[in-house]
Amino acid sequence: MNVLVTGGAGFIGSHIAEGLLEAGHDVTALDILDPYYDLGIKERNIDICRDIAPDSFEFVEGSITDEELVRELVSSRDIQFVYHQAAQAGVRTSVENPKKPHEINTTGLLNLLLAADDHGVTRFVNASSSSVYGEVEYLPYDEDHQNVPQSPYGVTKLTAEHYCRVWDEVYDLPTVSLRYFTVYGPRMRPNMAITNFTSRCLNGTAPEIYGDGQQTRDFTYIDDIVGANLALLETGAADGEVMNIGSTGNITIEELAEHIIDETGADVDIEYTDAKEADARHTHSDVTKANELIDYEPSTTIREGVSQFVGWYRENREWYEPLVLNS
């Protein structure tokens, strides 16, 4: 199968591309290589995919906001399946510059939907986010929970979901939106809490928490995210649906920092600073729907995943750590 992965040089996109290549599919990865974080990580992601199947992987540098490029790629590569992972990420970044995430996360998505529909793509999988929920009415979030995003980023992700729903209902393009809950694992973005805490601890520096540390997160290991995405190659049961893709539970940020201190053996104490604007206080996913539709069962607890990440980090400090420390 010919598959387009947007954001294919990024953390989640490259892992999905790996899984597709290992399963024998042909992958075109589109990525603008925005230096939102050090490009060395993205370049390594591309090299890893090339090494897996050099004859089945193509990298194209470009933006999903380039309508002509998107149309040309989908048609000339005879794309049958789209995994849309490209986005301007970052809740705090979107507060500082709301125009950029709107252009990429909304207009860029529309370009892809139009091209996919014109070419008769088999299925379009959209990466959404737990940020669409916003204000907590109850936990864990199920898909019927109210959507009151608290950041421009969350608004763009919710808008993208509605576009996908309309393209499924009105234009008969099969679409699925997966609401990710804080994804982590090897090669993750260096500005995420787990990477930052690990880097600090391994270098004898105290992990710094924004706020009181009692905010909770549902962290999802990258292998579980890839499994959920690849399951959609085999079933149409989820067409037109929105599904939570989360983990086996949640954890306070303070507990997370304490666990990383224990895993690294660092002799440091946690430091606290002011809370950041627009950050959600709590997240926790109900994955019942995903379990029913695609047999999704998260397999990695946060403590298991953090232990695996710290081990991977130690093995890859030579190339990964300088990027983190300079971010």
**Enzyme catalytic residues:** 153
Place of tokens 């947007």: 6
Greatest pairwise CA separation for the chain in angstroms: 58
- Strand, coil or helix: what is 238? coil
Q: How far apart are the first and last CA of the chain?
A: 37
Which residue in 6, 9, 21 sits closest to 230, CA to CA? 21
Left if phi > 0, otherwise alpha if psi is -120 to 50, otherwise beta: which for 134? Answer: left
Integer-rounded Cα Rg, in Å, for the chain is 19
Query: Quick check: 313 and 129 in contact, CB under 8 A?
Result: no
Is beta strand 251-252 parallel, antiparallel or unpaired with respect to 216-217? antiparallel
Query: Directed axis angle between helix 193-202 and helix 317-325, to 10°?
Result: 110
Tokens, residue 135: 């204000």
Query: Directed axis angle between helix 317-325 and helix 39-52, to 10°?
Result: 150
